[in-house]
Amino acid sequence: MALRKIVTVPDEVLRKKARFVKNFDENIKQLIDDMVETMRDAPGVGLAAPQVGILERIIVIEYGDEEDEEAPPKLYAVVNPEITRASSEKEMGVEGCLSIPGIVGDVERSTSIIVKGQNRNGQKVKYKLNGWVARIFQHEIDHLEGVLFTDLAESVWQPVEEPELEPENVEDNE
């Protein structure tokens, strides 16, 4: 496995439509492994192949269950993902992107979706997704179409990091 360079705006590869994967060879498996390693190193919760400069329809996502913080995060690697159903119920949420560092925005997304695609070996997969993991899938699949979250955002801003307080500087108000 190897870390790949994450492409950032304004690189034009982020605006191009990715190609469908037809050959599930060792190169695709290596790309998926590299993408997982790159996503974890960044750190991020999702990464699409165009974000590492490869115009192939591949996404990787690693996200833990919101309800069960003790459970290890689940890793998804989906080739040729397609949203086949999206709920009409939508929700606003704050998103960021490894390809747009230092910016976040409010984006409205469907709260639940069904995604079909293929795994790293070309076998069909189908996921019923809700909540934040559904949001992450929608964000990553948008990358395969050349769409960035800033295109969809109601507002964007630079988050302000709160300075960390030293424990001795925290007052006890009891």
Q: Tell me the residue length of the chain.
A: 174
Which of 116, 121, 106, 145 shows the shortest CA–CA distance to 32? 121
In a domain, 2, yes or no: no
CATH number where 27 lies: 3.90.45.10
Does residue 45 sit within a domain?
Answer: yes
User: What global pTM score does this model have?
Assistant: 0.89
> pLDDT by residue (tens digit) across 139-160?
999 999 999 999 999 999 999 8
Q: What is the pLDDT of residues 65-77, one digit of tens each?
A: 766 677 789 999 9
Distance (Å, whole) CA 2 – CA 125: 26
pLDDT score recorded for residue 173: 52
Task: Assess if residue 172 is contained within a domain.
Answer: no
Question: What total number of domains does the chain contain?
Answer: 1
Residue numbers annotated as active site: 140
Is 33 part of any domain? yes
Is residue 174 assigned to a domain? Answer: no
Do the domain assignments include residue 141?
Answer: yes
Domain that includes residue 117, residue range: 12-160
Q: Does the residue 139 lie in any domain?
A: yes
* Residues β-bridged to residue 130: 112
* Domain presence at residue 130: yes
50-66 per-position pLDDT tens digit:
999 999 999 999 998 76
